Amino acid sequence: MKFLTLMRIVALFFILIFSFQITAQQNPNPERFYSSKHGKELFIEQFIDWDKKNSFSKGGILFVGSSSIRLWPTSQYFKGNIINRGFGGSHLSDIIYYFDHMVEKYAPKTILLYAGDNDIADNKSPEQVLDDFIDFTTLVNDKIAHCALVFISIKPSPSRWRYWPEMKMTNDLIKLYVRDHDNLYYLDTATPMIGENGRPFPELFVSDSLHLSTKGYDLWSSIANSFLDSISAENNSLKINLEHIKNMFK
């Protein structure tokens, strides 16, 4: 009996060690994104250097996330104070790690976040991505006043189609969470990307079947612009109502 108990303890120990190793593999070192002089990807150090050499206005619209953000020519599709801080291959945990450099310093009025795509492809669970999203929303609420956070749904891509069930579950979890919290929004760009055959429209992607083509960004931008217009109208209506209430007590 003592031997069996000892064996169970040893087995539990190795299970815990194995679980820790899996978790460590699923949370890659964010320092890998800080600096590099090679390749076409953008790194944190480059954003910091750019900000030192150029002025930027606070209170704008910040696009942040992985390569789907980096490759999005946001200045061509959107008007106003637009800042793009996408870095390819990033997880949501990486964006959290660099929150001060990539988000807080710009004090945006609106954040459009695209993350979770690489996370799921690297075997993080939908629940883990939701937890990271909640951590990110906490940072936004604590450090940026009156900021609207918009989660752009994880896209269904042909090259990662085998991950779509987990990606869709992640979208659903975040959509449910957003419903119960102020200043949080879910932008459904995923549903219009899927045809009647239940698969993504291939023309929305470039040759790698992962990143968006011009048609893909046309679609995303149309949805995002309509959404941003609705938020702006909602805020203007709220201001008018508040002014009306104030005038009633004058």
- pLDDT digits over 189-208, tens only? 999 999 999 999 999 999 99
The tokens of 89 are what?
A: 């291959």
- pLDDT of residue 64 exceeding 90, the answer is yes
Amino acid 46: pLDDT: 84
- Mean predicted confidence (pLDDT) in 55-69: 95
Domains of the chain, by residue range, sit at: 43-248
- pLDDT of residue 182 exceeding 50, the answer is yes
* CB within 8 Å of 36: residues ≥ 6 apart: 43
CA atoms within 13 A on the CB side of 51: 18
Specify the amino acid at residue 13: F
* Cα–Cα distance for residue pair 249/197, rounded to 1 Å: 59
Specify the pTM.
0.81
Summarize pLDDT for 220-231 with one digit per residue, the tens. 999 999 999 998
The tokens of 153 are what?
A: 């749904």
- Mean predicted confidence (pLDDT) in 28-44: 61
- Mean predicted confidence (pLDDT) in 50-65: 92
φ and ψ of 53, to 5 deg = -95, -15
> Where residue 84 falls among pLDDT bands split at 50, 70, 90?
very high
- Mean predicted confidence (pLDDT) in 90-97: 95
Other CB atoms within 10 A of residue 16 CB: 10
Q: In the CATH scheme, what architecture does the domain 43-248 have? A: 3-Layer(aba) Sandwich (3.40)
- Mean predicted confidence (pLDDT) in 21-47: 60
What are the C-alpha distances in Å from 111 to residues 8, 11, 45, 82, 149?
Answer: 49, 46, 21, 10, 5
- Mean predicted confidence (pLDDT) in 85-101: 93
